């Protein structure tokens, strides 16, 4: 049996998910061709880098800690690079140094991830 408060929280979560329906295609058009399985993010509001990481991790079946952690497993690295590319495309107000700090990485790692994904897409 679902109580009113639980139902209200479920409705709010569903609304938040529906707000994330615009695909990242518009934002990444300048950076490269998007993959159809990419995470959907709102383009009309500023979304935090932490939210981008969380959504990308959920899409790949990982956690936030996996993405920002030191793991070099292939599936984690691919998800991390995808999150970096999305963050680079959506948060153009942030420098690569600031993005690198959010991912607990160097700014050149952000540039490498974006360049590598663009190279793979050609």
The predicted model scores a pTM of 0.64
Spatial distance between the Cα atoms of 99 and 106, rounded to a whole number of angstroms: 9
The per-residue pLDDT for 40 is 58
Task: Find all residues with CB under 8 Å of 104, minimum gap 6, and list them.
Answer: 68
The per-residue pLDDT for 118 is 72
Q: What is the mean pLDDT of residues 26-30?
A: 46
Domain ranges of the chain: 22-121
Spatial distance between the Cα atoms of 93 and 14, rounded to a whole number of angstroms: 28
Q: What is the mean pLDDT of residues 9-28?
A: 55
* Among 88, 74, 94, CA closest to 24: 88
Confidence of residue 50 (pLDDT cuts 50, 70, 90): very high
Residue 23 β-bridge partners:
40
Domain 22-121 has CATH 1.10.1750.10: yes
The per-residue pLDDT for 46 is 77
Say if residue 24's pLDDT is above 80.
no
The per-residue pLDDT for 2 is 58
Question: How does pLDDT run across 77-96, given as a tens digit for each residue?
Answer: 999 999 999 999 888 899 99
């Amino acid at each position: 049996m679902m109580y009113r408060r639980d139902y209200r929280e479920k409705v709010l979560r569903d609304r938040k998910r529906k707000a994330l329906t615009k695909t990242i295609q518009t934002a990444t058009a300048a950076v490269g061709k998007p993959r159809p399985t990419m995470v959907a993010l709102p383009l009309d509001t500023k979304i935090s880098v932490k939210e981008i990481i969380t959504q990308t991790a959920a899409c790949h079946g990982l956690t936030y800690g996996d993405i920002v952690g030191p793991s070099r497993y292939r599936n984690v690295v691919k998800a991390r690079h995808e999150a970096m590319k999305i963050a680079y495309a959506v948060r153009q107000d942030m420098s690569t140094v600031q993005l690198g700090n959010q991912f607990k990485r160097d700014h050149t790692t952000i540039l490498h991830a974006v360049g590598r994904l663009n190279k793979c897409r050609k």
